[in-house]
Each structure stands twice: as C-alpha cells, then as structure tokens.
Amino acid sequence: IKEKFKNLPYSEYELKKLSKIFRKNKLLLSNQANEINIKNTNLEIYDIISFATHAGISGSLNETSEPFLVLTPPKKSNIIDDGILTASEVSQLDLNAKLVILSACNTAARQNEYSSGFSGLVASFFNAGAQNILATHWNVDDKTTAKMIIETIKKSVTKNLDLADALKMTKIEFISGKYGEKYKHPKYWGAYVIVGN
C-alpha cells in the first residue's frame, strides 16, 4: 500500500481545517488513521465523518476485488487491519451521520462495470447508516480537493446553507477564477457530487 499510494500533503491540512469549524470533533491523523481505530470508534455519535485519503476502485489492488479507502497500514498486515477499508467492511460500520465526506479519487465509482450507479463505496456508506455522501466521479487533485471541501463545509455551516447550495457556490467560485485561472477548468471542480436526501 505504501508503495502504490503516496502521501497526500493536503489531506492533513484539510482535516485540521474542517475540525476547527466544529466545536466537538475527533481527529485521526497519520498512524491514528488506521482500521483498528475506525472500527473501534463509536461512529454513531458523529453527524459528519470525513475521510481525506486515497480510494481505489474494484480491481485496483490484487488483494481485493472491492472498492476501498486507504488507511494507515500496520507494520504487519492481518485480517482485521490490512490498511484498506473495503466496501464490505464499511457496510458493517454503525453510522448515524448526516454527512460522510469521501475526499478521495473515484469515490462515486460503481462496484463494477455491470452494477448500477453508486453501488460501490457510496452504497456501502448508505448501508452503514449515512444519510448523505459527498463523493467524487473521477481522479481529483489533492490541493483542489482540500479547498473544495473546506470551502463547501464552511459555507454550509457558517451561512446555514443546504449542502448542495454550498457546493454549488464553491463550484461557481472555482469557475469565476477565485482560486486561480487554471482551476476554472471543470476537471478541477466538476467531480464533486452530493448523493442522498
């Protein structure tokens, strides 16, 4: 996993900035962001859960045929903690979250070419109890994703906006050039989607 998935420099920045928006939070970074801690945390008490990491689609790792999120791998892999949180493992979590943020590449991808839309990670988080999911349709840039997620959540919370409206406003800011000329292109802002209620 460490060879295939390189460190994302803006992930920690993104999660730290998000945590400051909320009075109550639990932040798992680096070595703490592992399967054992995720599976042993009472996730039902959190309204918003955010993963800022790599994701893989079905077949992108020989070790699994499922879509997955990359977590910090252990020194020695085992059945409970192998460094990836697969769709089936996500389905077994107990969530009550109003929003799960999947700040990673291709998180809205289908389970496989024969399955219906939003059947992979998105479906597994719904099965676990999430109400809404912010996901991506294709590979996304680490720096851009941090800006997109932070600005969208900040607008939603501070301006009391519906999440879809906050995401739309942030996309309009990208299109208008607020974050730089190059980021006007849809490849930087078009991948983000909210699925749910």
DSSP of 7-58: --HHHHHHHHHHHHHSSS-----GGGSSHHHHHHS-GGG-SEEEEES-EE-T
Spatial distance between the Cα atoms of 169 and 161, rounded to a whole number of angstroms: 10
User: With bands split at pLDDT 50, 70 and 90, how would you rate the model's confidence at 137?
Assistant: very high
**Against a cut of 0.95, is the pTM above it?**
no
Instruction: State the Cα–Cα distance between residues 28 and 65, nearest whole angstrom.
Output: 27
Instruction: Classify 181 as helix, strand or coil.
Output: helix
Q: Is 186's pLDDT higher than 90?
A: yes
pLDDT at 77: 85
d(CA 134, CA 142): 15
Amino acid residing at 161: L
Instruction: Provide the pLDDT confidence category of residue 115 given band limits of 50, 70 and 90.
Output: low
Measuring CA to CA, which residue among 66, 9, 15, 69 is closest to residue 38? 69
Mean pLDDT of 59-77: 85
Confidence of residue 116 (pLDDT cuts 50, 70, 90): low
Phi and psi at residue 91, in whole multiples of 5°?
Answer: -60, -25
- Looking at per-residue confidence, does 112 or 195 come out higher? 195
pLDDT at 109: 76
pLDDT value for 78: 84
Using the predicted structure, report yes or no on whether residue 194 has a pLDDT greater than 90. yes
- pLDDT tens sequence across 80-114: 889 999 999 999 999 999 999 999 998 987 655 55
Cα–Cα distance, 92 to 9 (Å, whole number): 30
* pLDDT band with cut points at 50, 70 and 90 for residue 118: low
User: What backbone torsions phi and psi does residue 34 show, to the nearest 5 degrees?
Assistant: -125, 170
